[in-house]
Amino acid sequence: MLDTIQHRFSLLEPYITAYGPSDTVSRPAVLLFHACNGVRHHIHDYARQVATLGYRAYVIDSFLPRGWDHTAAMSLVCSGLALHGYERSGDVLAAIWGLAQRPEVDASTLILAGWSHGGWSIMDLMTQKLTRPGEARLENGSPEPMKGVKGVFLVYPYINFPARSNTHGWEYRPKTQAVLARQDFLTAHSHADHIFNHLKSEGVPVERLDLEATHCFDEDSALHFGPLMAYDKASHKKTEMAFEAFILDVFRGA
């Protein structure tokens, strides 16, 4: 049975962490979507970075609403057994819809930011018209909330099979920044290069930051698995700088 967009947001809402000024002034907002290993400390750090610029940020946890802890996330989602990007794209749409109802959020000026699986989910959402029941695994998805999405920021997004951007164009064309790791073992840099060049040729305004780093290079964690996912301070800093520049560019130009 499919969720309605309202029900999906009601499941997510208790697990959304908000950052930003402690007032009710309507402000642009960044919605952050974590990787397959769940919400890690660096996602909160990026959200705090948004807040220091005077905007709002919301970290959306897709796993706790489903009763999954870190171990479950690693065994189910990182393995590909559960919650592919197409299904989680309903979380992205529901979060946009639900947060847009809040008076302190300027629903006309939003950025979606995703890391790895979160990037996959955002990209899958971009490929859907959202005009028929079942898209994004929702009963009543709608393209209406997408009107406020002015930017997409993607960090080492997963774009291997079965990511829809391999075979589908994007229905929406927000300003997009892709941060790609040249030693990414989950999505070969050459493949990511092909996908984003194709999107750009189709009219998506894509900019790139290509780094000499691995997947998850911005997570300084003992949970990494050797050289395949190694923390790189310099690349992390470059990503933070690119994130700030992108936010200011999108929000000040909106």
State whether the Cα torsion 25-26-30-34 is positive or negative: positive
Instruction: Express each pLDDT in 4-16 by its tens digit.
Output: 999 999 999 999 9
246 neighbors 174 (Cβ within 8 angstroms): no
73, 123, 130, 208, 229 from 8: Cα distances, Å: 19, 19, 15, 32, 32
Q: What is the pLDDT of residue 72?
A: 87
pTM over 0.85: yes
Instruction: Express each pLDDT in 9-47 by its tens digit.
Output: 999 999 999 999 999 999 999 999 999 999 999 999 999
What band does 74 get if pLDDT is binned at 50, 70 and 90?
A: confident
Residue with tokens 């900019």: 207
55-75 burial: b if 16+ Cβ within 10 Å, else e = bbbbbbbbbebbebeeeebee
Instruction: Express each pLDDT in 118-128 by its tens digit.
Output: 999 999 999 99
